[in-house]
């Protein structure tokens, strides 16, 4: 269907067809605002959940790094203790037993 070129003063009565082609008809004529609100709330909830998940993962990574550091310190302390036990043997020469 061809729409004749109207004068600019009467363009209010002629719809612009090109933007309507960008949306599917089920979205264009969907007037159920409860569905729209529900979809909007779901999107917002999804973003909040993603932010909480990101924060939780950051905490888990921080905790894992802390445990690795504590294990490394414990291993280092064990190595130092073993080194002292082997090197400082001269005090054990006079032990009876």
Over residues 31-79, the pLDDT tens digits come to 778 888 899 999 999 999 999 999 999 999 999 999 999 999 999 999 9
Tally of CA atoms within 13 A in the half-sphere of 60 that contains its CB: 6
Q: Does pTM surpass 0.75?
A: no
In the block, which residue shows the tokens 């979205």?
27
Closest CA to 20 of 38, 43, 3: 3
């Amino acid at each position: 269907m061809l729409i004749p070129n109207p004068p600019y003063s009467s363009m209010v009565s002629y719809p612009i067809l090109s933007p309507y082609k960008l949306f599917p008809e089920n979205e264009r004529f969907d007037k159920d605002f409860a569905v729209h609100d529900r979809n909007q709330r779901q999107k917002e909830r999804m973003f909040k959940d993603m932010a909480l998940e990101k924060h939780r993962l950051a905490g888990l990574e921080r905790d894992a790094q802390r445990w690795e550091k504590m294990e490394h310190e414990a291993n280092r302390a064990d190595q130092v203790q073993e080194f002292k036990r082997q090197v400082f043997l001269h005090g054990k020469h006079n032990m009876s037993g």
